[in-house]
Amino acid sequence: MKSGRHPHTRAFAICSLLAFTALPASAQVALTTLGTAYTQNFDTLPASGTAVWANNTTLPGWYHARTGSGSNLVADTGANNAGNLYSYGASGNADRALGSVGSGNAAVGSLFWGLRLKNTTGSTITALAITYTGEQWRNSAATAQSIAFSYAIAPSFSGTLAEFQSTGTAVAALDVTSPVTGGSAAALNGNLAANQQTRSATLSGISLPNGSEILLRWSDPDHGGADHGLAIDSLSVTPQGSGPQQTTLSIADASRDEGNSGTSTLTFTISLSQPAPTGGVTFDIATSDGSATAPSDYVANALTAQTIAAGATSKTFDVVINGDTSGEPDENFRVTLSNPLNAVIADGEATGTIVNDDALPLAKIHDVQGNGATTPIGAGTSVTVEGIVTGSYQGSSKLSGFFVQEEDADADADPLTSEGLFVYCAACPTAVSEGQRVRVTGLVSEFFGLTEITASTAGAVAITDAGNRLGDITPAAIALPVAGDVDAFYEAREGMLVRFSDALFVSEYFELARYGQIELYQGGRPRQFTEDNAPGVAGYTAHLAALARRRVTLDDENNVENWPLTLADGAQYLFHPQANGGFSAGTHGSDFFRGGDRIDNLTGVLHWSFAGFTGTDAWRIRPTQATPAVFTPVNPRSATAPDVGGAITAASVNVLNYFTTLDTTSSNSSGPCGPSSSQDCRGADNSNELDRQRERTSIVLCGLDADVVGLVELENATTSATIDNLLGAVNARCGGAHPYVVAGTGAALGTDAIRNQLIYRSGVLSPVGGTLVDNDTIHNRPPLAQTFDVVETGNPAFGQRFTAIVNHFKSKSCSSASGANADSGDGQGCYASRRTQQASRLLTWIDTTVVPAANDPDILLLGDYNAYAKETPITTLASAGYVDLLSALGGPDAYSYLFDGQLGHLDYALASASLAPQVVGIAPWHINADELPQLDYNDDVRDTGEAAYEEEPNGSTLNPPRTLVMAASPYRASDHDPVLVGLFDDGVIFRDGFE
């Protein structure tokens, strides 16, 4: 059962548990004895997931500050290039190092971390001998970078940013400098000698009086460009000095098995840092309750004036433990020192742990799950259950466990208790298969909201029936939408085999390659809230809640991010569909699916889990060998563009970052592109990818065969090389007697790395006057306008004049959004205010510049407006008489784009009031939004700076082979569907209110 929704990472669960049960630490680490080293190996840092760094808690005595606003600590292997404080190490390995990557991100900035040390030796410390290992876990392909070391001395510190930035003493010998530079950006193994530097120096000549503190500081600024991932490990700090040393008193933790009856003794040892002086050392000592309570679990004990005799160094203290046979979690109590004489307390509190050694009798799974928010059985209690294996995901490349379920005959009558359970078996010494009946003995826990049993030792899992007993289980029927609380509904079915009675429709597939998951919806594919409704916080909130009741996440067999790429080249595949062993070009339904396809009677195990990255926790269906998902084609591909009629056709086409300057840098924010030659090149990463993109884009443009085309996301180069490259391929394929030409100059337009462009069929249309550009500062991708006359002899529209304007408004991305541009929660996303201002400016420019120059009011607006039909930028244009043709003529289900599993249109053809009656038809060509992103132009080579998700899997050696290469195909040329509109029929038309 759920104790809450938390990041689903196993190693961090252990760290969090320790953080809650550990005794409070002092505000700094005490240096108690000259010549005795303080050491830190950082191995208690999380091995996976994301934690919130807590000063003096994540690591006692350690502090972190940054110029950014965040406080996250992220476990990483060096694969992540985002700025943050990192717990570096091999995936899932407990051997950790503390490091960082600086970033200009508002949540990161420059990072600092350090150690507060307090002198309690009784003498002045005159030197500190410091050694540690510097490790590099990521090569960003940049030049050498360093983490700088310094220290400061004061009566006390609190670990603030100001203290880290204050003037101190720099020690260059203790700086960490990246041993690996240049080349390609990639993760490194910081545990290898080639990626390490040993740092050692003695801070001599210091004066650290008894009772004062020294702050050891490491500083990692945001270096220009990409940052390396540098870290520290295996730290040792040894105080040196002279004079008498203060005697310190400490008590150590202790534990013992509880026993089944009678009593036993738990002995604690109290130790001195040096032999007791003349007169000895005295102290008081007493027990106090924790989860163990006196007198039921132990006998309380409190003694005063206990003495460690002169010359002795230790003394013991006994506590009587009561045995029993009850199955229960381990329990603990505290033992505290006080009132010392002739010594000071260095560590005055110990934990006594009573280790449970009793197992519960055979339990039913529903008893372990219970009908409340958490299991009614105490965490850490050993239980034994027996059930049928419904799904086996053993092995480190899967879930390292399996699901078991009670037979129907053993289920209880309580609808709130689940009959299924996840068994985490780690290395899984006993292999199990679906349908077998097994007996499992292990410890119960709530693993980030998932009730599970850990049974990882030999003999913990026993097969009691090796046959197939799946027939003894009836999958729990689920009808959507869910009524009431969604989490509570699924809670009662956690870990069970379930079957959905409704047809489910493929709606989101962007994360198939990264996480192996697909989002399905009951009742058809959902639409964006603001596609059909005016923006509003209440309405949008209700919309999202309704989606959650209809949504089903179909996952694969693991939680490994980018799992296909962990397989050997040639054996890589995307998990769904399973009919022929994974996604591939081939036959619709068995080899590939499209958005809108259907799955009937979806059956699998219901699992609460993350997808492979922190923050992705959700209810998900794990497929089983017995019940793979079957995809029924509902939305077939159209090989030809729609027939929209009209004597003249126009198209709006997003070309998905068509760049002829290859992206060869490791940075995602800078490079040789854009008008300033300093922006990132966003398109193809190698010539093979560019060839694919050129071929596919030319096929699309020739398939549309429009007379004028508004292009968006074309490289904003300082020359016409990019558009010339594209038109060369287009005209070679379909130029004919009327080849396409560019309207206006090919020089850079605006300040962004991408631009708008108009192309048209020569001999069919003829430009009237020059191309107009609005360089108002509200636009970083200025709108482009060109007036045309129809000049083709014999064309029914001969002599007609109209103006085409292509726009690309500000995106919905929230990067740097603030104030009126922040996401208000009304469904419009970020920068709605900016887009509305762009729409208003567009209207002003049209009225004052474009129409007077054209001497004709017929205006056709094309392009990507990054706003759905009811959002304020579009309603602003509509209030000025412009008609959204796709909404008006395309029907209630029209769309051109998919985001977050919801359909809508960002790609427009809007006609002025005078042109609207002359529109014959409009339709999107659904060749992009319904297709898997991995079918795009990217290849199976990960080039410098290329994101992992852009590398396509290589399944060439599988049988049958799995491939994502589609030659001579228009599909997934972009992520937006092109929109085609027909203008100027022989007579006036009457359709949908136009006349």
Q: What is the 3-state secondary structure (H, E, C) of 247-260?
A: CEEEECCEEEECCC
Which residue from 400, 382, 370 is spatially nearest to 445, judged by alpha carbons? 382
pLDDT of residue 571: 97
The whole-number pLDDT of residue 27 equals 60
Q: How far apart are CA 479 and CA 502, in angstroms?
A: 6
CA proximity to 78, closest of 229, 234, 193, 233: 229
Q: Is the dihedral of CA 563, 569, 574, 577 positive or negative?
A: negative
Q: Which amino acid is at 417?
A: T
> Could you state, in chain order, the average pLDDT of each consecutive group of 10 residues for the chain (995 residues)?
38 31 53 91 90 92 91 90 90 89 81 93 90 93 90 93 92 92 86 92 89 94 82 95 82 93 95 92 96 95 96 96 83 95 93 82 91 83 94 95 98 97 96 97 92 94 97 98 96 98 98 96 98 98 97 96 94 97 97 98 96 87 97 98 97 98 88 94 95 98 98 96 97 98 90 97 98 97 98 96 98 94 97 98 98 98 98 98 97 97 98 98 98 96 84 96 95 98 70 34
Of 933, 967, 974, 941, nearest to 695 (Cα)? 967
Sign for the CA dihedral angle at 838, 844, 847, 853 comes to negative
Q: Which amino acid is at 485?
A: D
Burial 807-825 (b: 16+ CB within 10 A, else e): bbbbbbeeeebeeebeebe
| Alpha-carbon distances of 555 from 81, 393, 858, rounded to whole Å | 26, 12, 50
How far apart, in whole angstroms, are the C-alpha atoms of residue 31 and residue 42? 19
**3-class secondary structure for 832-889?**
HHHHHHHHHHHHHHHHHHHHHHHCCCCEEEEEECCCCCCCHHHHHHHHCCCEEHHHHH
* 633-683 tens-digit pLDDT: 999 999 999 999 999 999 999 999 999 999 998 888 899 999 999 999 999
- Give the residue from 933, 967, 445, 889 showing the smallest Cα distance to 696: 967
Residues 438 and 404 sit within 8 Å (Cβ to Cβ): yes
Tokens of 677: 């030659």
For residue 910, the number of C-alpha atoms closer than 13 Å in the C-beta half-sphere is 28
Largest CA distance in the chain: 119
Q: Please state, in angstroms and rounded to a whole number, the distance separating the CA atoms of residues 797 and 307.
A: 109
- Alpha-carbon distance of 290 to 292, in angstroms, equals 5
Q: What pLDDT shows up at residue 355?
A: 86
Q: How far apart are CA 753 and CA 678, in angstroms?
A: 9
List alpha helices for 474-536, DSSP H. 486-491, 512-515, 529-532
pLDDT reported for residue 994: 34
pLDDT digits 0-9 by tens, 896-920: 999 999 999 999 999 999 999 999 9
Helix, strand, or coil here: 692?
A: helix
Could you tell me the pTM of the whole model? 0.72
Structure tokens at 984: 């100027």
